[in-house]
Amino acid sequence: MKITKTTHSKLANTDFDNLSFGKSFSDHMFTANFKDGEWHNEEIIPYGPISVNPSTHVFHYGQAIFEGMKAYKNKEGKILLFRPLDNLKRLNTSAERLCMPTIDEDLFMSGLTELLRVDSDWIPNSDEKSLYIRPFMIADSEYIRATPSSSYRFMIITSPTASYYKGETKLKIEEKFARSVEGGTGFAKAAGNYAAAFAPTKHAQNDGYTQVIWTDAKNHEYIEESGTMNIMFRINDTLITPKLSESILGGITRDSVLAIAKQKGIDVEERKISVKEIVEAHKNNTLKEAFGVGTAVTLNPIDKITFRDLDIHIEKQTPNSYGQLLKKELLSIQYGKTEDIFGWTMEL
């Protein structure tokens, strides 16, 4: 693979003690082009602007997908990846739904590992920090005909990130807008899903909420996700999460948390959860915990859920709560502190 190194590293000028999510980028990026039915020009180049024409397909029809994952350093300074092939699998599921080409394991893993080797100093040596990895694909044919693009660009950029306290999480159960619909693109990590979610989220934020809880588009009766994270509840001693469907994104954190919970002997249920059930569990004091799960923040406890006029306050998590227990265990595996009995980590 062709590697062109930067002559102006930004490493010394990056303040690793004051990282805000997704704002600083490491020195290099991986790029590849799809043309005439094949991927070409895999290379690593300095991070920087790319030149495209205004007619570039993605600007008009939004054929764009992405992934989100992290690289960690363990105590010995070894680089660990967490379930990268699951991210690739999901990227290809997204690609198929958006009528884009898939990527094979060789291309993905060689691009990813070479990039991390070149930028290994950007992976923080701390168990509270990591390198966020953003693989993405855009349609880059230069024509504005409303048909699928014939050429694509796949890139990987990375951004050092810290785990940070987000403040209270107050969620509103959304009953007007929908993030995704049955038969739509909700299960894919498509850029357009995010674009469509911004306005409803902003309305909720203007009313003092941090995010919305998405419900099914048909009747707004069943809970789907919390903002851009999957959602889990503890009712009595059972951990419950919505069953995956076409309108729910299958998070790798969700899957990992469920596997750890089962291994710890916690009762786990994947099924439909109605808003009514959550309200009732609150009323009879059986709703003990609620949290969001996703790569960016791992596991984020929910403090309050508002349904119409009803405020449901959820108790702060204690060291014995499922939330804290599962978060700690997952982070320990990701940072290579505990033995990974699941075979999730991949050492570079």
Ligand X SMILES: *Cc1c(COP(=O)(O)O)cnc(C)c1O
Q: Which residue ranges make up the site for ligand X (CB under 6 A)?
A: 68, 189, 225, 228-230, 249, 251-254, 294-295
Which of residues 225 and 303 has its CB atom nearest to ligand X in the complex?
225
- In whole angstroms, the minimum distance from the beta carbon of 2 to ligand X comes to 30
**Beta carbon of residue 251, minimum distance to ligand X (angstroms, whole number):** 3
For residue 318, what are its two tokens? 């204690």
**CA 325 from centre of chain:** 21
Q: How many helices (H) and strands (E) does the chain have?
A: 7, 19
From CA 242, how far away is CA 252, in angstroms rounded? Answer: 14
**Residue placing its CB nearer to ligand X in the complex, 68 or 124:** 68
Nearest residue (CB) to ligand X, 159 versus 228: 228
Q: Which residue is nearest to ligand X (CB)?
A: 251
CB 222 within 8 A of CB 274: yes
Locate 9 and state its tokens.
């590293």
Kindly state the tokens that stand for 231.
């959602």
**120 Cβ contact partners less than 8 Å away, ≥ 6 residues apart:** 79
Distance between CA atoms of 162 and 40, rounded to whole angstroms? 34
Report the residue number, 129 or 254, with the smaller CB distance to ligand X. 254
Tell me the Cα Rg of the chain.
21
Structure-token pair, residue 72: 């960690």
The minimum distance between CB 101 and ligand X, in angstroms, equals 21
Smallest distance from the beta carbon of 323 to ligand X, in angstroms? 15
What gap in Å lies between CA 139 and CA 38, rounded to an integer?
A: 14
Smallest separation, CB 228 to ligand X (Å): 5
Comparing CA positions, the residue from 185, 25, 2 lying closest to residue 90 is 185
Residue 167 CB, shortest distance to ligand X, in Å, is: 20
- Nearer to ligand X (CB atom), residue 133 or residue 287: 133
Cβ at position 187, least distance to ligand X in Å: 9
Q: Find out whether 32 and 20 touch, Cβ atoms under 8 Å.
A: no
| CB nearer to ligand X: pick between 28 and 254 | 254
Residue closer to ligand X by CB (options 44, 103) is: 103
